[in-house]
């Protein structure tokens, strides 16, 4: 019985590395979209100045969502010194909330990536 595909010809090794990067990217992109959605829902006068600085950097097995060191970041997350004692901005913790939400959904987000990988390995 002849067999073919990446599973049998050694392509799975390269494929596994790509799979990890693809899953990491999919989860990170979803987290960034969720973060931006949280901010857009809470910034009253949105000139897109802060939101446009948010981005994701992906390397092999690690992804980082960040705002490029934007000066407004700590304030928008409720960590700045000007937040004391209390302000009324409802968007505090947008990044943290996005990370928690997407972390709980990581399996669901990665599933289509794994399905494509398995299909490619069996082709």
pLDDT tens digits, residue range 8-58? 666 677 788 889 999 999 999 999 999 999 888 888 777 888 888 999 998
With 0-12 / 13-18 / 19 or more C-beta atoms within 10 angstroms meaning exposed / middle / buried, residue 65 is buried
Boundaries of every domain in the chain: 6-121
Mean pLDDT of 56-70: 87
Examine the pLDDT at 6 and tell me if it is beyond 70: no
Helix (H, G, I), strand (E, B) or coil at 123: coil
Beta bridge mates, 57: 64
Examine the pLDDT at 1 and tell me if it is beyond 60: no
The residues, ordered by sequence, that sit 6+ positions from 23 with a Cβ below 8 Å of its Cβ are 109, 110, 113, 114
Residue 64: half-sphere exposure toward Cβ, Cα within 13 Å: 6
**Minimal CA–CA distance to 70: which of 45, 89, 52?**
52
pTM for this structure? 0.80
Give the model's pLDDT for residue 59.
84
pLDDT tens figures, 98-109: 999 999 999 999
Give the model's pLDDT for residue 2.
59
């Amino acid at each position: 019985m002849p067999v073919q595909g990446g599973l049998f010809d050694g392509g799975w090794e390269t494929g596994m590395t790509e799979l990890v990067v693809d899953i990491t990217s999919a989860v990170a992109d979803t987290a960034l979209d969720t973060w931006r959605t949280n901010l857009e829902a809470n910034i009253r006068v949105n000139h897109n100045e802060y939101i446009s600085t948010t981005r994701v950097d992906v390397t092999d097995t690690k992804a980082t969502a960040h705002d490029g060191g934007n000066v407004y970041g700590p304030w928008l997350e409720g960590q700045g010194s000007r937040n004391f004692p209390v302000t009324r901005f409802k968007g505090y913790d947008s990044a943290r909330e996005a990370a928690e939400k997407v972390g709980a959904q990581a399996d669901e987000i990665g599933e289509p990536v794994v399905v494509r990988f398995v299909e490619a390995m069996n082709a």
